[in-house]
């Protein structure tokens, strides 16, 4: 029977229920079938609707009854205020995590479009992983050995002469880089201690810092990276022992450190007996150059390296590799294990399957070309329509353009005006651990519908012009 028949029964029974005392038993399903001349399925559908609305209740083996009406009263959770105590620091999630309307041009997100992902490889890998032993066996705490070896080999290809390449034993598999950063900050920094961070930097690192109670200390970082002398002064001034950085295609600026800068920064870190947390989030998103991880230049345990596969393989494959040496690895892994015990063996097996297929290398070559064309298309739109803005640098990899806007811009109004016209952008303030030195916006060129980029930039330019 049609849905309208079910609705007719619901309306009729609601009138009957309104006149019946609480606890009155409803006619049997057989009687209702005969009365309304419908199928048992249609009657059951109507009864489920009434149960969901709270008008009747079923008692298995007894029957269906008119539910007792209870007077509505407000929920009183006031006792929790005293039980929970002070909330501490709160960090709201950034606009990059917002789900856009279907018809919007989404330039705010931090993830690549689905068509840029190796979907065929991922689906096949998940099927094989689900059918294998990994679906039932508990994996080792530090990760599947073959996946550990793969992460180590990836860095080993960049190891400089005279340096000791990492081994599989130096690698731990973590459930994504966000969880990894939390364990890194808790294990290496500690609550109430200073953490040096590039400014601007990844908002997720600031969120992890807030959650772990560490104190971010900004170190200005420009299109080429941070100033080693300023970093040295920050170490000396604060007594910090950890510096969080993204040397390769930084989020949001796209900056890549030169070989000379990398060596100078490492020298500062070593001189202070400190750690450098290297977040190699964009390793698979190179365009005009190759990634060159700093951890490949260090065999003294000063660089703690983390690389996630979540953005380049699939959002559901939350797998990251950590490279650390000495007691630091044990401390970080101990914290990570306390949070999640171990990483799903199915996800580890699927990730390993994807990145060891011959088609993975072909996918990365194709991805490089697609990112280049998308970046250049968006860049052309900015230069034609958003002349009020300055592109701080043309990124050689990564997913984003970082734009400096006029200092007089009302950024909140700009974001709202663009959204009202179907274009979502990210407010640059969200990437600064302290006050922003100006007005910025981050535009993701790896999102859906790149053909709309020119029109989206025309909208951005018009909205900027409205504030002139």
Nearest to residue 286, comparing CAs of 254, 238, 315? Answer: 254
**Is the CB of residue 402 less than 8 Å from the CB of residue 432?**
no
248-274 pLDDT, tens digit each: 999 999 999 999 999 999 999 999 999
d(CA 69, CA 17): 11
Counting every residue, how long is the chain? Answer: 468
- Which domains, and CATH codes, for the chain? 3-66 (1.10.10.10), 95-115+360-466 (3.90.1150.10), 119-357 (3.40.640.10)
Alpha-carbon distances, residue 232 vs 251, 257, 280, 303, 396 (angstroms): 23, 17, 22, 16, 27
d(CA 102, CA 272): 50
d(CA 429, CA 419): 17
Q: Counting runs of H as helices and runs of E as strands, what totals does the chain give?
A: 15, 16
d(CA 295, CA 439): 33
Cβ neighbours, 10 Å, residue 77: 8
Q: H or E element: which one contains 388?
A: none
Query: Does this model's pTM top 0.85?
Result: no
List Cβ neighbours of 171 (8 Å cut-off, separation of 6 or more): 142, 143, 148, 149, 151, 152, 321, 322, 323
Dihedral angle, C-alpha 187, 192, 198, 201, nearest 10 °: 80
**Is the CB of residue 314 less than 8 Å from the CB of residue 116?**
no
d(CA 187, CA 357): 35
Q: Print pLDDT tens along the chain (468 aa).
A: 445 788 889 999 999 988 888 889 999 989 999 999 999 888 988 888 888 888 888 887 788 899 876 555 566 766 776 776 666 665 556 666 667 666 788 888 888 999 999 999 999 999 999 998 888 888 888 889 999 999 999 998 877 666 778 889 999 999 988 888 999 999 999 899 999 999 999 999 999 999 899 999 999 998 899 999 999 999 999 999 999 999 999 999 999 999 999 999 999 999 999 999 999 999 999 999 998 899 998 888 899 999 999 999 999 999 999 999 988 888 888 888 777 778 888 999 999 999 999 999 999 999 999 999 999 999 999 999 999 999 989 999 999 999 999 999 999 999 999 999 999 998 999 899 888 888 999 999 999 899 999 999 999 999 999 887
d(CA 380, CA 325): 45
d(CA 348, CA 134): 8
Structure tokens at 239: 């007594």
d(CA 126, CA 112): 20
Decide the pairing of beta strands 242-245 and 275-279. parallel
Q: Where are the beta strands (DSSP E) in 76-212?
A: 105-106, 171-174, 194-199
* pLDDT of amino acid 1: 41
Residue 341 has φ and ψ, to the nearest 5°, of: 65, -60
Q: H or E element: which one contains 150?
A: helix 145-156
């Amino acid at each position: 029977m049609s849905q309208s028949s079910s609705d007719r029964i619901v309306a009729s029974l609601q009138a009957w229920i309104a006149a019946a005392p609480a606890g009155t038993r409803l006619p049997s399903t057989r009687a209702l079938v005969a009365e309304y001349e419908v199928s048992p399925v249609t009657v059951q559908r109507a009864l489920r609707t009434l149960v969901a609305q709270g008008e009747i209740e079923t008692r298995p083996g007894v029957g269906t009854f008119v539910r007792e009406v209870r007077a509505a009263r407000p929920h009183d959770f006031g006792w929790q205020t005293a039980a929970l105590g002070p909330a501490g620091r709160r960090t709201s999630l950034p606009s990059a995590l917002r789900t856009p309307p279907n018809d919007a041009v989404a330039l705010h997100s931090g993830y690549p479009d689905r068509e840029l992902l190796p979907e065929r490889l991922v689906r096949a890998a998940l099927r094989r992983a689900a059918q294998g032993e990994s679906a039932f066996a508990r994996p080792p705490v530090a990760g599947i050995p073959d996946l550990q070896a793969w992460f180590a080999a990836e860095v080993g290809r960049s190891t400089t002469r005279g340096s000791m390449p990492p081994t599989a034993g130096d690698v731990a598999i973590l459930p994504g880089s966000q969880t990894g950063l939390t364990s890194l900050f808790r294990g290496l920094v500690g609550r109430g201690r200073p953490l040096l961070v590039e400014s601007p930097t990844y908002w997720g690192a600031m969120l992890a810092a807030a959650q772990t109670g560490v104190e971010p200390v900004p170190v200005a970082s420009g299109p080429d990276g941070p100033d080693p002398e300023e970093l040295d002064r920050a170490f000396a001034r604060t007594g910090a022992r950890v510096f969080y950085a993204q040397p390769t295609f930084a989020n949001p600026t796209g900056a890549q450190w030169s070989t000379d800068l990398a060596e100078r920064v490492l020298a500062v870190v070593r001189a202070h007996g400190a750690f450098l947390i290297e977040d190699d989030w964009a390793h698979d998103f190179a365009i005009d150059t190759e990634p060159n991880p700093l951890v490949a230049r260090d065999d003294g345990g000063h660089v703690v390296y983390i690389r996630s596969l979540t953005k380049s393989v699939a959002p559901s494959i939350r797998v990251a590799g950590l490279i650390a040496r000495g007691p630091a690895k044990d401390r970080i892994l101990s914290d990570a294990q306390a949070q999640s015990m171990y990483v799903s063996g199915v996800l580890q097996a699927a990730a390993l399957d994807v990145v060891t297929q011959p088609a993975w290398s072909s996918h990365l070559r194709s991805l490089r070309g697609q990112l280049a064309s998308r970046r250049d298309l968006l860049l052309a739109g900015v230069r034609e329509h958003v002349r009020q803005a300055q592109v701080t640098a043309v990124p050689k990899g990564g997913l984003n353009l970082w734009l400096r806007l006029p200092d007089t811009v009302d950024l909140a109004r700009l974001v709202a005006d663009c959204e009202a016209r179907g274009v979502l952008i990210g407010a640059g303030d969200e990437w600064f651990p302290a006050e922003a030195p100006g007005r910025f916006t981050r535009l993701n060129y790896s999102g859906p519908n790149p053909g709309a980029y020119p029109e989206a930039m025309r909208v951005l330019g018009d909205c900027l012009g409205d504030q002139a």
